Each structure stands twice: as C-alpha cells, then as structure tokens.
C-alpha cells in the first residue's frame, strides 16, 4: 500500500508556528525582529500560512510558454539583418528591433524565418506612412509582430510628444484596425526609481489613456524587472490582474501581452560580471511571473558597444533557463505559493488605490503635465539612493566587497553615466539613473 508522507504528520496552525518562533526568539520582539517593511509599504512576514486566508487567484492571460528574445538596433539594415538571422539560428525565438528612423524593410527582413521568431519593435519616431507600409509587409509575410507605438511613453521619457497630443492620438486612431499596435512602456519608470506599486499604477493609468481614446483593442506592456526576486514575480502577476479589471469597463480583450527586460538601475560598471547574476535572477522572475517574452541585457552593456560575445552570453542565459533548467515546462508555476499570492494581492490592491487617485486627479497625462508623477518617482528614487548610500541596498563589488585592483577607465567604449542634454521640453522628463553612478565616478576619477 502506498503511503503519502504528509499524512504521517499532524497539521500545524499559523498560531502554533508563531508561538514556536516566539519561544526561539528568547524574548526578542517578533514584529521588530522578523517583520520588515518595504518601500511600497508592504510588511514581509517570516512565514505565510493557509490560516491567513490567502486564496490563489486565476491570472488572466498567463501564457503557456515564453520567447527568448534578442535585441537588435537598426542602424545599418544589412548588419541588423545579419545579426537577427544569426541570433535566431542560435536559439532566439523573437527579435526586438530598435530604430530611430525609417529603414529599408526588405533589407532588414531578408531571409527572416517568420515561422520561427516573433517580431517586436521599439521606435523612437512616429511615421504613420512607414508604419502602415511595415504592417502591410509583415502581414503579407504572415509574421507575428508587435508595433509597440507609445506616444505617452515618449512624453514621459523625453518630455515632448512626437508632434502634439492631438496629432499623435489621431495617428494611433488611424491604425486602430491593426493588431498589436500600442505599447505601454513602463521600463523607464522602474529605471528612474519608481517603486513597484508606482510602476503598476502608472502602467495602468498609462494604458487607460489609450483605452479612453479608443485607440486600441490590444496592448503590449514592456516592463523592467529588478533583482527583488519574489516581488518581481508578483509584479507581473498583479499587472495582469489589474489590466483585466480595468478592461472589464471597455469593449476589448482582458488579456495583455508582456515583454520583460532587465533593469539598468542596478547594473554596475565595476565587477561587471556580477551583472550576469543579476540578469539571470531578473529573467527567472520574468518567466515565473508569466512574461510572454524575455529580452536579456548583455553584462557589458554599460561600457561596451554592441558585440557578438556579450549578446551570445545574454542569449545563452535564457537558453539555459529554458533548455536545461526546464523553465518552460509549467505554466503559472507560482500558483498557490502563499507568499507570492499574498504579494500579488497586496501589490494589486495598493496599485489600484494609487491608480484611482491618479484618475480622480484628471488622469495620467494631466499628472505628467503638472509634474506630479515626476515628483513621486524622484521621491522614491531618493529613498532608494539613500538606502544604497547607507549600505542597506547592496550591489556586490560596488558598495560591498569591492575589488580595489579592478580598473575600468581604459575599457570604456561608451559613456556609462547619465548625460546632460538641456533642451526645450513640454514637461520635465522622467530620467533613468543607475544607483551606482556616483560611486563609479569617484572610483574612475582616482584611477
């Protein structure tokens, strides 16, 4: 007769667990010793239990799998094509094309294996004639593609619309019959220092601006994941729940598409190989949280120009997760995990409250024009920076366990710090900045 191991043990209540912990603390206060509070105002307990009443919720739109995604910037069309086709041959399942101007479509997609790899775009320009031409071309090729147009993201990141709010939204409206047109790019909020509740609330309010204008029936969210492992898993799950709740009010799909990229905020110039560890945990969080596509960041992206070795390593990290660690076997693997379920619900609840405050104050665009969103992100970033400067946020090799013989000045191909580029803008842009910049500048000055 088969025996089930768990039936050999009596169930232990949450109260009994807490009593045992308090005995082991030998007089130390339970809440002060073991309960911590995050910048989002979430209290983390030492254990979670079924007695807490935590109920697993279905996560709308959780994909059955995820795509290994390679970033390719289109400067020279032929070079971009060579890189993309080579990356697919070596395991990439999607390509994220960046471009700052129209390009030769046929040259970029020469011999592209459409059946093997999806296509994402990241445009820093808005040219409707070109987008229509590109959309028609890829549709005829039966490609799966995501145009990812985001004028509100352009406003928040650079301080200006492409042309004007009216013209930009009219341009989107003219593409309303196209699928996968609109993107909500939240990566800059995370990279600028927004906490997770803010990231979720701003993502929802950002999306609501498009839904209010009836410019789309499908939205792709681009998110940045950091190294707060379980929180990042919960963040993606909460985003899907929130988006489904919002779109119940509209005549559109309640599921969204999510492409996850690693954060730049926690990446470092010194001891740069540690960036591979950071990006690996970020990718793991992205997969376990339910991203549709994961685009990894090369470990040397801060100081090296695009190079085959860095790109190969970043792609191989994802290949190992999928082909050797079996991160593609289970859909929604976090389902039922008390800690993650609790984090998901708390993040979603707090983000919904903040979203409602934004809407009551006139909406996301109005809050950007008034500078309120920028102010809140700056306040959050300042708190993070203070914790980092005090050593309460650790970046190994940078503010802890430094290698004094590590020199970088002669290795810099790119300027790794925030650049000042004064220009006339409609609003103050939301500026991304890495936490380690001040320390790194100081070290470089003494090499």
For 213, phi then psi, to 5°, come to -90, 5
Whole-Å CA distances, 441 to 168, 209, 415, 434, 444 = 39, 39, 11, 12, 5
pLDDT category of residue 2 using cuts at 50, 70 and 90? low
Ordered DSSP codes for 155-204: HHHHSS-SS-HHHHHHHHHHTTTSSS-EEEE-HHHHHHT--HHHHHHHHH
Inform me whether the pLDDT recorded for 42 exceeds 80. yes
Q: What pTM value is reported for the model?
A: 0.95
Does position 339 have pLDDT exceeding 90, yes or no? yes
Pairing of strands 94-99, 118-123: parallel
pLDDT higher than threshold 70 for residue 6: no
Average pLDDT over residues 175-193: 91
Tell me the pLDDT tens digit for each residue of 270-302: 999 999 999 999 999 999 999 999 999 999 999
| Segment 383-425, tens digit of pLDDT | 999 999 999 999 999 999 999 999 999 999 999 999 888 889 9
- Average pLDDT score over residue span 329-345: 92
| CA–CA separation, 274 and 277 (whole Å) | 5
* Nearest C-alpha neighbor of 256 from the set 301, 303, 219: 219
- Residue 420: name the closest of 434, 408, 409, 431 by CA: 431
CB atoms < 10 A from the CB of 20, how many? 11
- What does the pLDDT read at residue 299? 97
Rounded to 10 deg, the angle between the 196-212 and 338-360 helix axes is 50
CA 151 to chain centre: 18
User: Helix/strand/coil (H, E, C) string of 356-416?
Assistant: HHHHHCCCHHHHHHHCHHHHHHHHHHHHHHHHHHCCCCCCECCCECCCCCCCCHHHCCCCC
Model confidence pLDDT, tens digit, residues 111-167? 999 999 999 999 999 999 999 999 999 999 999 999 999 999 999 999 999 999 999
CB proximity list for 414: less than 8 A, separation 6 or greater: 302, 303, 304, 305
Question: The tokens 């093997």 sit on which residue?
Answer: 116
Calculate mean pLDDT across residues 433-445.
Answer: 97
Pick the CATH number of 1-64+148-447 from 3.20.20.240, 3.30.2350.10, 3.40.50.970, 3.40.50.720: 3.20.20.240
* Locus of tokens 């994802």: 318
CA distance 350 to 4: 40
Q: Where are the domains of the chain?
A: 1-64+148-447
Q: Which residues of 202-225 are buried (b: 16+ CB within 10 A; e: fewer)?
A: bbbbbbbbbbeeebbbebbbbbbb
Q: Cα dihedral sign for 92, 93, 96, 102?
A: positive
Neighbours of 162 (CB within 10 A): 19
Quick one: pLDDT at residue 10? 82
- Listed in sequence order, the DSSP H helices in 30-162 are 30-34, 77-89, 105-108, 128-140, 151-158
> Is 249 in contact with 212 (CB distance < 8 Å)?
no
* Range of weakest confidence among 9-18, 224-233, 309-318: 9-18
pLDDT averaged over every residue in the chain: 94
Residue 434: count other Cβ atoms within 10 Å of its Cβ.
23
Asked whether residue 173 carries a pLDDT value surpassing 90, the answer given is no
Residue 358 has pLDDT above 90, yes or no: yes
pLDDT tops 80 at residue 7: no
Count other C-beta atoms under 10 Å from residue 245's C-beta: 15
- The pLDDT assigned to 420 comes to 80
Q: What is the pLDDT of residues 72-94, one digit of tens each?
A: 999 999 999 999 999 999 999 99
69: confidence class by pLDDT, cuts 50, 70, 90 = very high
């Amino acid at each position: 007769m088969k025996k089930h191991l768990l039936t050999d043990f009596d169930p232990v209540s949450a109260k009994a667990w807490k009593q045992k912990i308090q005995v082991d603390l030998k007089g130390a206060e339970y809440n002060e010793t073991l309960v911590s509070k995050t910048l989002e105002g979430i209290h983390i307990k030492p254990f979670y239990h079924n007695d807490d009443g935590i109920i697993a919720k279905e996560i709308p739109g959780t994909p059955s799998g995820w795509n290994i995604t390679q970033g390719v910037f289109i400067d020279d069309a032929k070079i971009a094509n060579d890189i993309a086709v080579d990356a697919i041959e070596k395991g990439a399942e999607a390509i994220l094309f960046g471009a700052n101007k129209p390009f030769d479509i046929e040259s970029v997609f020469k011999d592209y294996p459409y059946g093997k790899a999806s296509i994402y775009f990241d445009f820093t320009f808005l040219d409707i004639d070109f987008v229509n031409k590109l959309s028609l071309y890829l549709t005829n090729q039966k490609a799966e593609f995501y145009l990812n147009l985001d004028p509100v993201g352009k406003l928040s990141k650079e301080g200006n619309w492409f042309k004007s709010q009216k013209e930009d939204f009219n341009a989107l409206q003219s593409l309303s019959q196209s699928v996968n047109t609109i993107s909500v790019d939240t990566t800059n909020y995370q990279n600028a220092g927004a906490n997770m509740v803010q990231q979720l609330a701003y993502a929802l309010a950002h999306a609501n601006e498009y839904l209010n204008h009836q410019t789309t029936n499908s939205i792709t969210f681009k998110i940045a994941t950091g190294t707060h492992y379980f929180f990042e898993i919960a963040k993606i799950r909460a985003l899907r729940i929130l988006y489904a709740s919002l779109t119940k009010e509209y005549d559109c799909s309640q599921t969204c598409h999510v492409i996850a990229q690693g954060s730049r905020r926690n990446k470092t110039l010194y001891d740069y190989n540690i960036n591979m560890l950071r990006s690996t945990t970020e990718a793991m969080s992205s997969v376990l949280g339910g991203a549709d596509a994961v685009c990894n960041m090369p470990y040397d992206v801060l100081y090296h120009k695009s190079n085959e070795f860095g790109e190969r390593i970043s792609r191989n990290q994802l290949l190992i997760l999928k082909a050797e660690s079996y991160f593609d076997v289970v859909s929604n693997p976090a389902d039922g995990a008390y800690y993650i379920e609790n984090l998901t619900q708390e993040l979603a609840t707090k983000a919904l409250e903040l979203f409602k405050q934004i809407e009551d104050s006139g909406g996301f665009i109005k809050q950007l024009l008034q500078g309120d969103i920028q102010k809140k992100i700056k306040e959050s970033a300042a708190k993070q920076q203070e914790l980092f400067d005090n050593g309460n946020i650790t970046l190994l090799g940078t503010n802890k366990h430094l290698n004094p013989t590590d020199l970088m000045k002669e290795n810099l191909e790119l300027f790794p710090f925030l650049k000042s580029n004064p220009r006339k803008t409609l609003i103050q842009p939301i500026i991304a900045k890495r936490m380690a910049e001040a320390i790194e500048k100081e070290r470089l000055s003494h090499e």
